Amino acid sequence: MSAAQATTPLLAVRGVRAAYGKIEALKGVDVEINAGEIVALIGANGAGKSTLMMTIFGRPRARAGTIEYDGHDITGVPTHEIARLRIAQSPEGRRIFPRMSVAENLQMGADATECTEAEREAGLDRVFALFPRLKERVAQRGGTLSGGEQQMLAIGRALMSRPRLLMLDEPSLGLAPLIARQIFDAIRTLNRQDGLTVLIVEQNANHALKLAHRGYVMVNGLITLAGTGAELLQRPEIRAAYLEGGRRG
Ligand SMILES: Nc1ncnc2c1ncn2[C@@H]1O[C@H](COP(=O)(O)OP(=O)(O)OP(=O)(O)O)[C@@H](O)[C@H]1O
Ligand SMILES: [Mg+2]
């Protein structure tokens, strides 16, 4: 592999704008994610974090700019085709299927991409090794799971599509600290052992920046700061806005 190939990011978002009607939520966003990285996106309520994640996934469509993934221009590509390129997301609020069993929810994830029976079995083994509670509750309806278990299921469902890039929107939201820690530990394990590339949106800036190799700060539809997780944790403006007296964790 040449040096140029080695530095080509897995995902490159360049000058992306997106809007809901007249409300411009992204005003020209640049974000890069290298293969094997965990990248955190932090920012206040309404900054546009979820919108960026959804725009990468094809909805809403980018009104300007480009999104490149693994050498493909995926700007404007429909969501189901993006999923086939092995990008998966666990959206804000989890959105599991409450009436379906844990097993059926996981199957929905497998159905997002073509996979062999052996790959599906391997996927289930991986998910159950990460989250043994899901194995114990495999026949239980999704809607009857605890909040933490539903988050595990949402991540498990995303993993069943065998992503190379996993995007997680606020995976620790509303969870007790111990459960949130289990979720962060699972993300770290997936990154270290499976080489999974992760984009994580978090209100828990402290945990997210400790977990991430690099981070971006979004304010009002624009990236205002970028750096390593450790650098960002030290920045006074980050500490003031997101760690001390802000949304702490
Ligand atoms: N479906 C929608 N229709 C109209 N406006 C929307 C919609 N979704 C988001 N917005 C607006 O777009 C802006 C960015 O919202 P977004 O949900 O991306 O922010 P966020 O950073 O994820 O916030 P939070 O931390 O609260 O989840 C906000 O002004 C929001 O009101
Ligand atoms: Mg959000």
Measured from the CB, is residue 23 less than 6 Å from ligand 1?
A: yes
Q: How high is the pLDDT of residue 240?
A: 85
Distance 136 CA to ligand 2 centre (A): 31
The Cα–Cα gap between 211 and 200 comes to 10
Distance 120 CA to ligand 2 centre (A): 30
Give me the average pLDDT of each 10-residue run along the chain (249 residues): 66 98 97 98 95 96 97 93 93 90 96 91 97 98 96 97 97 93 96 97 91 97 96 90 59
Q: Are 164 and 143 in contact (CB under 8 A)?
A: no
Sheet bearing 23-33, strands edge to edge: 23-33, 11-20, 64-69, 72-73
Q: Whose CA is nearest to atom 14 of ligand 1?
A: 48
Q: How high is the pLDDT of residue 5?
A: 52
Measured from the CB, is residue 45 less than 6 Å from ligand 1?
A: yes
Q: Give this prediction's pTM.
A: 0.94
Q: How high is the pLDDT of residue 39?
A: 98
DSSP secondary structure letter of residue 141 = B
In terms of Cα–Cα distance, which of 139, 164, 160 is closest to 37? 164
Domains of the chain as residue ranges with CATH = 1-86+164-180+195-249 (3.40.50.300)
Q: Whose CA is nearest to atom 1 of ligand 1?
A: 20
Measured from the CB, is residue 20 less than 6 Å from ligand 1?
A: yes
Measured from the CB, is residue 47 less than 6 Å from ligand 1?
A: yes
